[in-house]
Amino acid sequence: MPERKNVCIIAGDMSRWGVREASLVDVVQEAAKECFDDIPALNRKDIDGFLFASSYCGRNPFQVNAAPVMAERIGVKPINMCTRVDTLCAGGSSGIILATGLVKAGIADVVMVAGGEKLYTPQRWETFYSELASIDHDWDGAQGMGLPPPFFAMTAKEHMKHYGTKKEQLAVVSVKNRRNGATNPKAQFQKEITMEEAMAARPIVPPLGLFDCCPITDGAAAVIVTYPEKAKEFTDRPLVYIKGSAQAALHSMSANWPGEHLADWVHLRTAAKRAYEVAGVGPDDIDVAQTHDCFTISEIIEMEELGFCKKGEGGPFVESGQNDFGGKVPVNTEGGLLSVGHPFGATGIRQAIEMLKQLQGRATRQVEGAKTGLTHNLSGLNVEHTILIYGLEP
């Protein structure tokens, strides 16, 4: 089998995200159709690998071995690989990393990576019960942990205690991401909010209010991954290379947290160091980023651990607009999880699609001249961090 030096992402799009009157296969088919429409010269027969990222497919829609089900529904007949990937909130990014490996090794030539979830069902408790399955079930679950807000509220409190971060600085993140999402026709929330609304929102778990928390979402997304020579058969657009990646998991149970305190994300620092090393770039080279804003506090800490600002200075960094358009590194340029929503397995793919568009110069809210970009997911109750670095140069 041929070993290939470089791999790129050549097309992508997504279904409408939100509370959908549609099944999992329905939204996956919508996303695949939009993705194929993004690259008309590609024939579905060209897809020889298919990865499907989904975590709750075996819980709410009650569909295991989901990859062949989705492949048939979207009319692809992969002959080299057809399987599901589960890394909860990072599943889509895991799929893209795995597709990179498959293409590099010559195991597959043209891989579709799709991701999707159906989280709103008539039995709402199914989703809340499933949340308990996403952490250490036997011990953390038995205490009534499970829904993420309490954990990230603890994290926010720790960040406030150690670094003096203020509730207003959390609000700045939700206002920015809602503003970016307001022009995204696929987003769950397409409405801006004001600082006053963000500050006065009803508490979910103090200090986190309603707008500090991302929603759960029905939706899907899909991208195409291949190698440069093959890509040129289908597209004249600039090639967006996958320059490097990392995925770090240092612990699982809440009490075994690897950092000094809950606002010290050593596993993200570890993943960032590795991803920058593999890609041959540093934080100053990143022109645009999509980071995992499951909660406003997450984005603040991510700015620090990804090296965009010093540890502890995430609050002032976002408050002064350094991660907004015109700042040092615009982040979550199409709304992030806070605005677009969070169908777990699809989120990393949604980030890759925005990165593809940013680097090809066709994003709705374009960062002018962006050449290198970074996407990031945290998954589980902050037990794993996944990073991909994309660029116009391999």
Partner 1 sequence: MGFENFGSVSFTTEAKPVDFVTYLEQGKVMATRCKECGATYFPPKMDCPKCLQSDVEWFEIKGKGKLVTYTVVNYGPAGFEDDAPYILAIGDFGDGVNIFGRLSRGIKEDDIKLGMELKVAPKKLLGDRITFEFQKG
Task: Determine, following the binding rule CB under 8 A, whether residue 143 of this chain makes contact with partner 1.
Answer: yes
Q: Nearest distance from residue 203's CB to partner 1, in Å?
A: 8
Nearest Cα neighbor of 13 from 211, 185, 168 is 185
Taking CB under 8 A as the binding criterion, the range among 25-33, 71-79, 229-237, 251-259 that sits at the site for partner 1 is: 251-259
Q: Which of 69, 81, 107, 147 binds partner 1 (CB under 8 A)?
A: 147
Query: Would you list the DSSP string of 342-366?
Result: --HHHHHHHHHHHHHHHHTT--SS-
Among 40, 75, 101, 206, binds partner 1 (CB under 8 A): 206
Query: Scanning residues 118 to 137, which ones bind partner 1 (CB under 8 A)?
Result: 125-126, 128-129, 131-132, 137
Question: Is 214 an annotated catalytic residue?
Answer: no
Which one of the listed residues 57, 89, 294, 309 is annotated catalytic?
89
| Smallest separation, CB 269 to partner 1 (Å) | 20
ω into 238 cis (within 30 of 0): no
Tokens of 276: 């920058």
164 binds partner 1 (CB under 8 A): no
Q: Does 40 engage in binding with partner 1 (CB under 8 A)?
A: no
Assess contact for 385 and 93: CB atoms under 8 A: no
3-state secondary structure of 51: strand
The residue range among 13-21, 173-181, 200-208, 269-277 that interacts with partner 1, by the rule CB under 8 A, is 200-208
Minimum gap (Å) between residue 297 Cβ and partner 1: 12
Residue closer to partner 1, measured from CB, 105 or 142:
142
Query: Do 109 and 234 touch, CB atoms closer than 8 A?
Result: no
Give the nearer residue to partner 1 in terms of CB position, either 77 or 261: 261
- Distance between alpha carbon 70 and the CA centroid of its chain, in Å? 21
Is 8 considered catalytic here? no
CB atoms within 10 A of CB 33: 15
- Is residue 140 at the binding interface for partner 1, with CB under 8 A as the rule? yes
Q: Which is nearer to partner 1, 81 or 253 (CB)?
A: 253
**DSSP letters along 6-50, please?**
--EEEEEEEPPPBS-SS-HHHHHHHHHHHHHHT-TT--GGG--EE
Q: Does 5 sit near partner 1 (CB under 8 A)?
A: no
For tokens 């615009």, name the residue.
330
Q: Indicate which single residue of 2, 122, 144, 369 sits in contact with partner 1 (rule: CB under 8 A).
A: 144
Among 7, 42, 90, 145, binds partner 1 (CB under 8 A): 145
**Does residue 310 belong to the site contacting partner 1 (CB under 8 A)?**
no
Q: Which two tokens stand for residue 176?
A: 């920015």
Q: What is the DSSP string of 208-247?
A: EEGGGB----BEEEEEEEE-HHHHTTT--SPPEEEEEEEE
| Interaction between residue 142 and partner 1 (CB under 8 A) | yes
The answer to whether the CB of 334 falls within 8 A of the CB of 375 is no
Interface residue list for partner 1 (CB under 8 A)? 125-126, 128-129, 131-132, 137-147, 149-151, 153-154, 157-158, 161, 203-206, 253-257, 261-262
What residues act catalytically? 89, 342
